[in-house]
Structure 1
Amino acid sequence: MVHEDIERCVRAVQSKDARFDGWFFTAVLTTRIYCRPSCPVVPPKVRNMRFYPSAAAAQQAGFRACKRCRPDAAPGSPEWNERADLVARAMRLIADGVVDTDGVPGLASRLGYSVRQIERQLRAELGAGPLALARAQRAQTARLLIETTALPMAELALAAGFSSIRTFNDTVREVFALAPTELRRRAGRQGGAAQGELCLRLPFRAPLCPDNLFGHLAATAVPGVEEWRDGAYRRTMALPHGPGVVALSPAPDHVRCRLSLADLRDLAAAISRCRRLLDLDADPVAVDAALSADPVLAPLVAKEPGRRVPHTVDGEEMAIRAVLGQQVSTAAARTHAARLVRAFGRPVEDSAGGLTHLFPEAAELAELDPETLAMPKTRRRTLLTLIEVLAAGKIDLGAGADWDEARARLAELPGFGPWTVETVAMRALGDPDAFLATDLGVKYAAKELDLPSAPRAFAAHAERWRPWRAYAVQYLWATGDHAINRLPVAGRAEGDR
């Protein structure tokens, strides 16, 4: 770390700046503890500070997590969702649990690199290899299960991804300086989620504007797969070891998350996908500062800062839904998707609401009869071609996807114009610079704001919004009176009315 970076870190720690939580971790030589920059304790002397780019690196250096600020629960670094390079793609896959399910060779295979290359790149930038990074994530998962469930420790260890109870005990003691039973006792409760239900708090960097985020998800919800109920967005998820149901609702300083999992081994993957869905690792201060430099967007940002980009829990699902939504209303797109869900989706049980199915995977849609699709023949061909290439694994739209490669392969498909490609890039791939220049809502906003109407001139003006054009789209959409811009009233989503 260069001298200028060290000085910035020191200033962040001394000012207890929560904006830097997750960006780096501060270790204290005298106490052998590592903390968030915003830790409430008195800052240590500068000569006793050491800075690490990841919790895993701090743990490898022999430091344990602070019991006051709980650095393991900090929001993730926004870099991993802003970048498309090898390290960022690897971090997204590790967060999704790939190392736990497929090992480091599986991670390398998905990324198209050798194990040695992955190890070298991660160690150079993060100070830890993929196994250490996955171990740090397992420790955090273990802590959540210890504090929020009544599971016996032997079952909990396996659910958190540990190969043995001994490794589980040793890791928890090393990372948190407490035995698992002590962690549970300090939590002050025994939990009530022995059957797979978990109540969690998902942290984020303030500010967060929930209106467009939850409003968009609720207004476009596919019946049977998604719903708005009792102030929460609820949906089903297909996870590595079985189905899950999640309920997400906004609170002032966190998002309330209630998970019902068929297999608790899916906890880390479920949390990762929920965080990506809600864009919770974003850095809204940096985004809004950049967009506010444009006098046209500045008033919109000042009015409702902290807008996030609603993403997805499954990239292939979003691509299929993007095609279903081509040149039709939100209600029509939901109807088309609901028909596919009823015909091909796997049933799930939901005692708390009206969720009935998982969204069907591409392989499950391979037997789709095109004559049953109430849409023009050209769009049928587009959908069937997409399903075919997804089922064959020819396009990767997962957490570790190469954004440029995915864009190029999508653009080769019949019926995939700029709107569809950029919708998938924004919602499925999570590219913060995806831009829907041809979207009707964006065009109406441009007209309302006296932005250039000619496509080339509009694109030139939008260059000043890089690399945050996907966020600019959220602010542009906010100028219209649409259900995607507001939280639904109690009961059903506005799209159901």
Structure 2
Amino acid sequence: MSLDPNVCYRAVQSRDRRFDGTFYTAVRTTGIYCRPSCPARTPAFGNVTFHPSAASAQAAGFRACKRCLPDATPGSPEWDVAGTVAGRAMRLIADGVVDREGVDGLARRVGYTTRHLSRLLTAELGAGPLALARARRAQTARVLIETTTLGLADVAFAAGFASVRQFNDTVREVYAAAPSDLRGRRGADRRPGSGAGVGTGTVAMRLAVRTPFAGRALHAFLAAHAVAGVETAGEGWYARTLDLPHGPGSVRLDLTDALDAGETAFVHATFRLADLRDTGAAVERARRLLDADCDPVAVGEQLGADPVLGRLVRRTPGLRVAGHVDGDELAVRTVVGQQVSVAGACTVLGRLVLAHGTPVETGVDGLTHLFPRAATLAGVDPETLPMPRSRGRAIAGLAAALADGEIALDRGTDRGDVRARLLALPGIGSWTADYIAMRALGDPDVFLPTDIGVRRALAALGHPPGHPPGRLPADTPDPDAWRPWRSYALMHLWHSLDLDLEETP
């Protein structure tokens, strides 16, 4: 990541929160590193260096500022959407791949040798994969220490450390404080019932998101697409089961609006886990679902100036692209939903879950099953699936490709390669492949011109589709003008179907 020192220093002088998480400021005279918006006195230009990651600053011998907590910011929006090897590797590291599979496993997933991947990450992020994974573990540990009542030994293993000694040494080095000292700095935001201790393996914490954050709109989307047994929702909250590396779990998210641009807001999340070692993976998957690392200000500045989308962006600032916790599940759900209504697809999927999903005990009403795994669906006779035979065969073929590893739908895969492999499968066309790319792979630049919802939304905005199916109206601005945020343009068009456009300025 190329950082212009002069540009970075101007951001530090203005304490611009929009740059929090995109780079870090290290101060030679104090030996600490900060977020750009740190309220402390601005250091002299000659005394600072800039780093693309917290791990880079730590590797250079700096410790985290105790005032601005630089590692508590949302992740970098650049690396969240980047299709580069470094961006793909960062997302896998955040999911705990290095902790579970080592650096060799990470390198294998992105298709590089261990040595070349280490060189690449060091050049791009200022630190190798082990240092990046260590920084992620330290951040998770600090959040758990300060916001839950988990015992410190449980925190160590929940954060991904191999031993309590490693946990203690890392926390002391990164924060210049013992874990017990960090526990004494709990914030005031301790709602009744927050923290761990509600039950075995229960962890409640706050997930940082950039603002503006249209939590209500995200809630409406997730609730409308909820599949019985796997998902449930109520007033202001959404919950679902999680199929995690070490066992099942569930998460409940409280979703409200936070519309003050440039700030960091928090989504309250409660995780119930069969194995606390899955804490980091569960948190990362919940953040994917929330699109937490999106840069809504950058998206809003571009789309808000568009003559077609501008009023939609002003009506719902901070609209997110709903991600997903499991790429395989999203792919199956997308194929089932081809050419049927959302409600109809959810009904069919509910039957599929009841017949082939894994029953689990979550303690949450309505959450009774994990979604069927690809290997399970690959072994099901497609003729018995509750859908047209051609679609059943498409599900079986897709599930077989996923189960065999021919297609990987995690955030570390090459999006172009995945799209080509999906299109090679019978029964999967461009709409399906692109929808999967948007929600499962986090591609920010997907547009679906043949989607019936898109055509209806454009018609309501004064661009009736008086044209052959599959083509946009002649007087509609070129969707290329919405790059690189066409996925967000798509979400605004879909969301507009639920708005009273007469009241939209």
TM tier, shorter chain?
A: over 0.9
Q: Which of 282, 289, 300 does residue 288 from structure 1 map onto?
A: 300
Question: In structure 1, what is the equivalent of residue 237 of structure 2?
Answer: 232
Secondary structure in 1 matching 2:210:
coil
**In 1, Cα distance between the equivalents of 2:433 and 2:8?**
39
Alpha-carbon offset, residue 384 of structure 1: 1.4
**In 2, Cα distance between the equivalents of 1:39 and 1:124?**
26
**In 2, Cα distance between the equivalents of 1:17 and 1:452?**
42
Question: In structure 2, what is the equivalent of residue 489 of structure 1?
Answer: none
Q: Give per-residue Cα distances to partners, 1:224-266, cap 9 Å, x unaligned.
A: 1101035211001111111111011124322111111111111
Alpha-carbon offset, residue 366 of structure 1: 2.4
Secondary structure in 2 matching 1:187:
coil
Q: Which of 383, 392, 398 does residue 380 from structure 1 map onto?
A: 392
**In 2, Cα distance between the equivalents of 1:461 and 1:268?**
41
Unaligned runs of 5+ in 2: 259-264, 501-505
Question: In structure 2, what is the equivalent of residue 209 of structure 1?
Answer: 214
Q: Which of 425, 433, 438 does residue 426 from structure 1 map onto?
A: 438
Counterpart amino acid of 1:54? S
Counterpart amino acid of 1:471? Y
Question: In structure 1, what is the equivalent of residue 503 of structure 2?
Answer: none
**In 1, Cα distance between the equivalents of 2:230 and 2:374?**
16
Alpha-carbon offset, residue 214 of structure 1: 1.4
Q: Tell me the TM-score normalised to structure 2 length.
A: 0.91
Question: In structure 2, what is the equivalent of residue 446 of structure 1?
Answer: 458
Task: Write the mapping of 1:147-158 to structure 2, written as runs, cut at 5 A.
Answer: 147-158=146-157
Alpha-carbon offset, residue 91 of structure 1: 0.5
Question: In structure 2, what is the equivalent of residue 490 of structure 1?
Answer: none
Counterpart amino acid of 2:232? E
Q: Which of 357, 371, 395 does residue 407 from structure 2 map onto?
A: 395
**In 1, Cα distance between the equivalents of 2:406 and 2:320?**
30
Higher mean alpha-carbon deviation, 84-93 vs 179-188, is at 179-188
Alpha-carbon offset, residue 457 of structure 1: 5.2
**In 2, Cα distance between the equivalents of 1:457 and 1:477?**
15
Secondary structure in 1 matching 2:409:
coil
Question: In structure 2, what is the equivalent of residue 130 of structure 1?
Answer: 129
Question: In structure 2, what is the equivalent of residue 141 of structure 1?
Answer: 140
Secondary structure in 2 matching 1:236:
strand
Contact 2:148 2:205 in 1 (8 A): no
Question: In structure 1, what is the equivalent of residue 54 of structure 2?
Answer: 55
Alpha-carbon offset, residue 81 of structure 1: 2.4
Question: In structure 2, what is the equivalent of residue 79 of structure 1?
Answer: 78
Contact 2:449 2:472 in 1 (8 A): no
Residue 471 (1) aligns with residue 488 (2)? yes
**In 2, Cα distance between the equivalents of 1:349 and 1:83?**
37
Secondary structure in 2 matching 1:321:
helix
Residue 219 (1) aligns with residue 224 (2)? yes
Q: Give per-residue Cα distances to partners, 1:333-378, cap 9 Å, x unaligned.
A: 1111111111221121122322001111101222323233232222
Residue 320 (1) aligns with residue 325 (2)? no
**In 2, Cα distance between the equivalents of 1:192 and 1:95?**
22
Q: Tell me the TM-score normalised to structure 1 length.
A: 0.93
**In 1, Cα distance between the equivalents of 2:150 and 2:478?**
56
Residue 23 (1) aligns with residue 28 (2)? no
**In 2, Cα distance between the equivalents of 1:10 and 1:255?**
30
Question: In structure 1, what is the equivalent of residue 69 of structure 2?
Answer: 70
Higher mean alpha-carbon deviation, 289-298 vs 356-365, is at 289-298
Alpha-carbon offset, residue 199 of structure 1: 1.6
**In 1, Cα distance between the equivalents of 2:453 and 2:228?**
24
Contact 1:81 1:431 in 2 (8 A): no
Question: In structure 2, what is the equivalent of residue 272 of structure 1?
Answer: 284
Are the structure 2 counterparts of residues 452 and 11 from structure 1 closer, same or farther at C-alpha, using a change threshold of 3 Å? farther
Question: In structure 2, what is the equivalent of residue 487 of structure 1?
Answer: none
Secondary structure in 2 matching 1:161:
coil
**More contact order relative to length (CA 8 Å, sep ≥ 6):** 1
Q: Give per-residue Cα distances to partners, 1:160-213, cap 9 Å, x unaligned.
A: 222222221111011111101111122279954372212211111111112331
**In 2, Cα distance between the equivalents of 1:159 and 1:277?**
21
Are the structure 2 counterparts of residues 208 and 151 from structure 1 closer, same or farther at C-alpha, using a change threshold of 3 Å? closer
Contact 1:326 1:420 in 2 (8 A): yes
**In 1, Cα distance between the equivalents of 2:462 and 2:151?**
62
Contact 2:319 2:492 in 1 (8 A): yes
Are the structure 2 counterparts of residues 263 and 148 from structure 1 closer, same or farther at C-alpha, using a change threshold of 3 Å? farther
Counterpart amino acid of 1:7? N
Q: Give per-residue Cα distances to partners, 1:69-109, cap 9 Å, x unaligned.
A: 11111100011222111111100100010000000000011
Alpha-carbon offset, residue 466 of structure 1: 1.0
**In 1, Cα distance between the equivalents of 2:90 and 2:382?**
39
**In 2, Cα distance between the equivalents of 1:299 and 1:164?**
53
Secondary structure in 2 matching 1:384:
helix
Q: Give per-residue Cα distances to partners, 1:15-53, cap 9 Å, x unaligned.
A: 111111100011111111111111122222222221110
Question: In structure 1, what is the equivalent of residue 250 of structure 2?
Answer: 245
Contact 2:336 2:345 in 1 (8 A): yes
Are the structure 2 counterparts of residues 181 and 402 from structure 1 closer, same or farther at C-alpha, using a change threshold of 3 Å? same
Counterpart amino acid of 2:53? S
Higher mean alpha-carbon deviation, 451-460 vs 165-174, is at 451-460
Alpha-carbon offset, residue 481 of structure 1: 2.8
Root-mean-square deviation over aligned CA pairs: 2.0
Q: Which of 198, 205, 230 does residue 203 from structure 2 map onto?
A: 198
Question: In structure 2, what is the equivalent of residue 90 of structure 1?
Answer: 89
Are the structure 2 counterparts of residues 411 and 460 from structure 1 closer, same or farther at C-alpha, using a change threshold of 3 Å? farther
Q: Give per-residue Cα distances to partners, 1:126-151, cap 9 Å, x unaligned.
A: 00000000000111121123223444
Secondary structure in 2 matching 1:208:
coil
Alpha-carbon offset, residue 418 of structure 1: 1.8
Contact 1:98 1:107 in 2 (8 A): yes
Give the % identical residues. 57
Counterpart amino acid of 2:317? P
Question: In structure 2, what is the equivalent of residue 262 of structure 1?
Answer: 274
Contact 2:216 2:236 in 1 (8 A): no
Task: Write the mapping of 1:408-419 to structure 2, written as runs, cut at 5 A.
Answer: 408-419=420-431
Counterpart amino acid of 2:486? R
Residue 38 (1) aligns with residue 37 (2)? yes
Higher mean alpha-carbon deviation, 363-372 vs 5-14, is at 363-372
Question: In structure 1, what is the equivalent of residue 368 of structure 2?
Answer: 356
**In 2, Cα distance between the equivalents of 1:246 and 1:191?**
14
Unaligned runs of 5+ in 1: 484-497
